[in-house]
Amino acid sequence: VTNLALDSDPGFRIGTVAAEAGTTTRTIRYYEEIGLLSAGDGRPKGGHRLYTREDVERVREIIRLRDVLGLSLDQLNQLFTLESERQQLKEEWAAASDSAEQRRILLAASACADAQLALVEERKTQLAILEREICDRRARIQDRITNL
């Protein structure tokens, strides 16, 4: 009875991931197709895709940035370039990375978060402008109603 601990986690199926992230299985497969999600290395042709808890979070983040910030999938790919680089260097990290290398990677991740925060601020400004416009229009309508 070997691999006792490892066998206990079968991983998430694509339908579960889609439900958790509020999207569809088609969308997840499409994101894999264009390279936004990792393809799951050793999957046999026709075999079921399996995902980790990290993958679920990744999908949720993509959906969020897409819907709330209105980013295209191409823009998201660019945003994640730094982080995917981090992903590739993860083995290096765990194995024998020096702290200078670790620092470099973490700073890249931090810069990625900063970039997202800048986009959030931009959206907040746009929303504020839109809100003011609508409020003004509403006020003018109310004026005309009271002046009847």
Residue 41, token pair as written in the block: 């290395």
- Applying CB under 7 A, which of residues 14, 37, 59, 82 lies at the interface with DNA? 14
Helices 53-69 and 14-21: crossing angle in degrees, nearest 10, is 40
Which of the choices its own copies, DNA, none does residue 24 contact, using the CB cut-off of 5 to 8 A by kind? DNA
Q: What share of the chain is helix, strand, coil (3-state, %, to 5)?
A: 75, 5, 25
Which of the choices its own copies, DNA, none does residue 148 contact, using the CB cut-off of 5 to 8 A by kind? its own copies
Which of the ranges 12-20, 29-37, 40-48, 64-72 carries the binding residues for its own copies, by CB under 8 A? Answer: 64-72
Q: How far is the CB of 18 from its own copies (least distance, A)?
A: 20
Backbone angles phi, psi at 16, to 5 degrees: -65, -45
Under rule CB under 8 A, residue 142 binds its own copies: yes
